[in-house]
Chain A
Amino acid sequence: MTVQELPGAGASHRPTPPPAWRPRTDAAPLLPDAEPYRVLGTPAADRLDPALMRRCYAELVRGRRYNAQATALTKQGRLAVYPSTVGQEACEIAAAMVLEDQDWLFPSYRDTLAAVARGLDPVQALTLLRGDWHTGYDPREHRIAPLSTPLATQLPHAVGLAHAARLRGDEVVALAMVGDGGTSEGDFHEALNFAAVWQAPVVFLVQNNGFAISVPLAKQTAAPTLAHKAVGYGMPGRLVDGNDVAAMHEVLTEAVRRARAGGGPTLIEAVTYRMEAHTNADDATRYRGDAEVEAWKAHDPVDLLERELTSRGILDEAGIQEARDAAETMAAALREGMNADPVLDPMDLFAHVYAEQTDRLREQAALLRAELDAEGDA
């Protein structure tokens, strides 16, 4: 594929000149607030946009239902594994909602929901976890990079893509997601540094859900917050309540806007909680108590929004029911899609290793073909 064939090519050719390097004399504007930014339940909620909030609500309800359905499919053996985002839906949903069509999402292995919220077919989004292929969709078509299993390794990709888009004069923003544990990886730090030096239009979204499998945040970092890490690289850090979808939407929108306008990257730490175990293979009772989980239940992202919107008369019973019905429809489609046994062609093993098949792979393909034929005859 040539550069001209890339999606977005020719969309706009107004290269933003990179800003001249200047030493930062004042790091203070880069520092995050002391407390996570909140909108719901604060006076800031007065300026909520009712239509936007109703959309957020519908998406949250759908997201919760998606999590429940995917988890059920794991129990039925239809999915090999599912890393749930119950409790983290506000982060996933807001991340998808703030992006425009030409923007790119770089999800981690946990962020299936963000990909679905961006419009990816729920069944396609789950093929990695079902086990039929590593990535069940064309990243270019959806502008969603493959869900990254090796932690933080997708972050430099987001930087490179955003940088390339800017070099081409396209107003593309890349939003990259990573967990709290992932912020310890070298790739995280290299990505932040590149992004800041290049003033690349990237938004880094850290979902701090308290644990990296069993390891609590206190053993992951000694920084006051993960958002503080931004300052050393020369980009703003923002601390936000990850269960408050309105706050998430606002902070992400602002970061995306700034990136698009040539203002460079932002690191956002969303403080949230992983309500379920790391995956179905994990025993969370080994490393955390019920009390903590219970306390976070009172701060549920769906309930928070529902309470705010109903008390303000923005949402009524009918609206709630409508959201639930839509979620059920999605769940039914997902169930149906996943209950159909995937039809796989073992010869696909050799189809996508190289652009041009090698002799050696042709030989191995012939061996497998013969084995399959023999099985068929038997």
Chain B
Amino acid sequence: MTTVAAKAAGTGAKPATMAQALTRAMRDAMAEDPTVHVMGEDVGTLGGVFRITDGLAKEFGEDRCTDTPLAEAGILGAAVGMAMYGLRPVVEMQFDAFAYPAFEQLLSHVAKMRNRTRGAMPLPITIRVPYGGGIGGVEHHCDSSEAYYVATPGLHVVTPATVEDAYGLLRASIASDDPVVFLEPKRLYWSKADWSPQAPAAVPGIGKALVRRTGTSATLITYGPSLPVCLEAAEAAREEGWDLEVVDLRSLVPFDEETVVASVRRTGRAVVVHEAAGFGGPGAEIAARVTERCFHHLEAPVLRVTGFDIPYPPPMLEKHHLPGVDRILDAVARLQWEN
């Protein structure tokens, strides 16, 4: 704690949580642009069940931060109309699995409006979805639903893994003229970093991956809630003589092929890690792209470490489902491919 405080003293940065950075991003966007409206279930008086919209209704009034009736299709459908009329709605889906009633609006309209209207009617909507497990939630509170979103052309899909990115990516999403599904790894809401809302670091926007750790033996490709797990695995792998590079995708659509390909060409080996089910999951796409672009550089097949292909398990069993350090290290060991 003392080192953190000392470091913070010079920069004006204090330890801040991802949750605080997200709140600040919406606050700043609303202050700068009167067309930004926040809406969803419990986002007003309560500040959201995770308190991510805390204080927005007080500061900007209930017309700008609105408690809606309890109806996800209605929330997103209304956001479509608001965006058609020039507003920039930021909607909150309370939990991953409760966004499903809104899929009709998402798939049929949000994702397609620009295309249907030959560009005449873009929809600048940000859809915030707390997602993923590891919090001991009961059923329907822990889905990793990114595969559905990334399989839907017309949507951007981003997910921060750090406090800085939470702020920077959310600002970029709200500023985007296209709909963005903004996936919030809820188990990282309370992760902390030194961060200053007065001088938020400029982060690369939507569509750029970042190398979070450089290495030479293999690349771990990951995003969102699995980033800290991969960084931990990379540390642990040092003991085994493996020097792992870790790439944080940050944005699943668009997918930053160049950063990923450059890394894998350097290291010659790759493992994709995510919580979502493996079959038809984002990792399948990434592994395919990497294979297509790096075939001659690869020393081993691209492996995936993912959640099992099962409905999200009850809390007492989730530890067996979620990709952890050991499973990642096992995959890394299998990269010593000798046909």
Q: Which residues of A contact B (CB under 8 A)?
A: 80-81, 128-134, 149-151, 153, 181-182, 184-187, 212-215, 219-221, 281-282, 286-287, 342, 344, 346, 348-350, 353, 358, 360-361, 364, 368, 371
Contacts and interface: CB of A to CB of B under 8 A. Distances in A.
12 contacts: A80-B138, A81-B138, A149-B139, A149-B141, A150-B100, A185-B73, A215-B42, A215-B67, A342-B316, A358-B309, A361-B310, A368-B320
A353 B74 contact: no
Given A129-B138, A132-B314, A184 B46 contact: no
A213 B74 contact: no
B317 interface: yes
Interface string B47-76: 101000000000000000001111111100
Contacts of A361: 308-310
B309 A353 contact: yes
B101 interface: yes
A187 B100 CA distance: 12
Contacts of A213: 41-42, 46, 49
A130 B138 CA distance: 8
Nearest to A135: B139
Contact of B101 (A131, A149, A187): A187
A220 B70 CA distance: 7
A214 B313 CA distance: 28
B97 A150 contact: yes
A117 B207 CA distance: 54
Given A213-B46, A220-B70, A350-B308, A186 B138 contact: no
A342 B316 CA distance: 9
Contact of A184 (B44, B70, B100, B327): B70
A349 B73 contact: no
A131 B41 contact: no
A286 to B, nearest CB: 5
Contact of B69 (A130, A187, A219, A282): A219
Contact of A131 (B67, B314, B320): B314
B315 A131 contact: yes
Given A185-B71, A215-B42, A220-B70, A353 B139 contact: no
Contacts of A129: 138
B81 interface: no
B153 interface: no
B98 interface: yes
B317 A349 contact: yes
B34 interface: no
Contacts of B100: 150
B101 to A, nearest CB: 6
B140 A219 contact: no
Contacts of B24: none
Interface in B214-265: none
Contacts of A187: 101
Contacts of A286: 45-47
Interface string B97-132: 110110000000000000000000000000000000
B311 interface: yes
Contacts of A364: 308-310
B204 interface: no
A134 B320 contact: no
A346 B69 contact: no
Contact of A214 (B45, B315, B316): B45
A192 B45 CA distance: 31
Contacts of B138: 80-81, 128-129, 131, 134, 149
Q: Across the A-B interface, give the 3 residue pairs with the lowest CB-CB distance, nearest first.
A: A131-B315, A214-B46, A184-B69
Contact of B309 (A80, A214, A360): A360
B279 interface: yes
A220 B42 contact: no
A347 B47 CA distance: 40
B12 interface: no
B171 interface: no
Given A130-B316, A219-B67, A287-B46, 20 more contacts: A80-B137, A131-B314, A131-B316, A149-B97, A153-B101, A181-B41, A182-B70, A184-B74, A186-B73, A212-B70, A214-B44, A215-B41, A215-B44, A215-B70, A219-B68, A282-B49, A349-B321, A350-B310, A364-B308, A371-B327
A177 to B, nearest CB: 15
B136 to A, nearest CB: 6
Contact of A186 (B101, B309, B311): B101
A348 B316 CA distance: 12
B315 A80 contact: yes
Contacts of B46: 213-214, 286-287
A95 to B, nearest CB: 21
Given A184-B74, A346-B320, A131 B136 contact: yes
Interface in B290-333: 308-311, 313-317, 320-321, 326-327
A181 B46 CA distance: 15
B310 A185 contact: no
| Residue in B41, B47, B68, B70 whose Cβ sees the most chain A Cβ within 10 Å | B70
A249 B223 CA distance: 54
A149 B45 CA distance: 23
Nearest to A182: B70
B81 to A, nearest CB: 16
A210 to B, nearest CB: 14
A134 B315 CA distance: 9
Contacts of B97: 149-150
A346 B317 contact: yes
Interface string B67-92: 11111111000000000000000000
Contacts of B317: 132, 344, 346, 348-349
A349 B309 CA distance: 10
Given A132-B314, A281-B49, A287-B46, A80 B140 contact: no
B214 to A, nearest CB: 30
Nearest to B70: A181
A364 to B, nearest CB: 5
B145 to A, nearest CB: 13
A187 B279 CA distance: 30
Contacts of A80: 136-138, 315
Contacts of B41: 181, 212-213, 215
A286 B141 CA distance: 23
A219 B62 CA distance: 11
